[in-house]
Chain A
């Protein structure tokens, strides 16, 4: 069995390696970060809006999402996250949470003290570059989501969300983009796309009937990636994966 440090940070190191040219000393510095492990059940609130945050949260397994709530009680999910994502890197610089963070599924988390991450960034510029790039890619994804929610029709919004989930899941080493189990309910998809669960169900049914996807409850197979990509208006560039 891998020692806990290695287990906690191996996936993060792999991810940051793709984002900047890290060397062995950088890897060792990440693996030496202090952290606190915790587990959370599906639906657990990890951070609430206005919390004062002193630790950044690395998702080791499971899925999570970020959200904001309007005064009328409606929730907008602003991003989905998967293993090896740091869920709130902005707390390196901003101490008060401006949105909530919740698990979609059961999850394992490593909480890293903010001062330790700040010191790491000062001492290891390549790691600072990687984390900065990660944050900028997060911002690019948010911009794409604004476009998605504001300007695409219902079916395209959902198709786009599914394409992004499939591609990011594959990039994180979590399996094929062709077939996957969705960790989110139709209510989550609705809240992420500015629709209702009724619309989400209708659009998933329509995609199923058109032969673009094959779906059994949360088990989704993308039968025709090219049609799916066109329907979704999905251009992978915004994920900056080759960056």
Chain B
């Protein structure tokens, strides 16, 4: 499966406004945000704002990078 990331800015009122669209085979699979300084322990990590396809779980963990998220996605889909 071909994966591509597209940087976007979100219309939020806080510092969590730097996001990537995760595209898989040309279709939007997820929206991730890079967590800002206000999140202290997890600042700089990637949070899953939305996931598409199937029934997305409530994701309570964060990822080191968009690549780490895609790896998790692939392992989950096996």
Residues of A in contact with B (beta carbons under 8 Å apart): 72, 74, 190, 194, 196-198, 201-202, 205-206
Contacts and interface: CB of A to CB of B under 8 A. Distances in A.
Interface of B: 13-14, 16, 35, 38-39, 42, 47, 57-60, 62
Contacts of A202: 14, 16, 38
Contacts of A194: 58
23 contacts: A72-B57, A74-B57, A74-B58, A74-B60, A190-B60, A194-B58, A196-B47, A196-B59, A196-B60, A197-B60, A198-B35, A198-B39, A198-B42, A198-B62, A201-B38, A201-B39, A202-B14, A202-B16, A202-B38, A205-B14, A205-B38, A206-B13, A206-B14
Contacts of A198: 16, 35, 39, 42, 47, 62
Given A74-B57, A198-B39, A206-B14, 13 more contacts: A72-B57, A74-B58, A74-B60, A190-B60, A194-B58, A196-B47, A196-B58, A196-B60, A198-B35, A198-B47, A205-B14, A205-B38, A206-B13
Chain A contact surface mostly: helix
Contacts, number: 26
A219 B48 CA distance: 29
Contacts of B13: 206
Nearest to B41: A197
A239 to B, nearest CB: 28
Q: Which 8 A-B pairs have the closest CB atoms?
A: A198-B47, A196-B60, A205-B38, A74-B58, A72-B57, A201-B39, A202-B14, A205-B14
A194 B59 CA distance: 11
A66 to B, nearest CB: 19
Contacts of B39: 198, 201
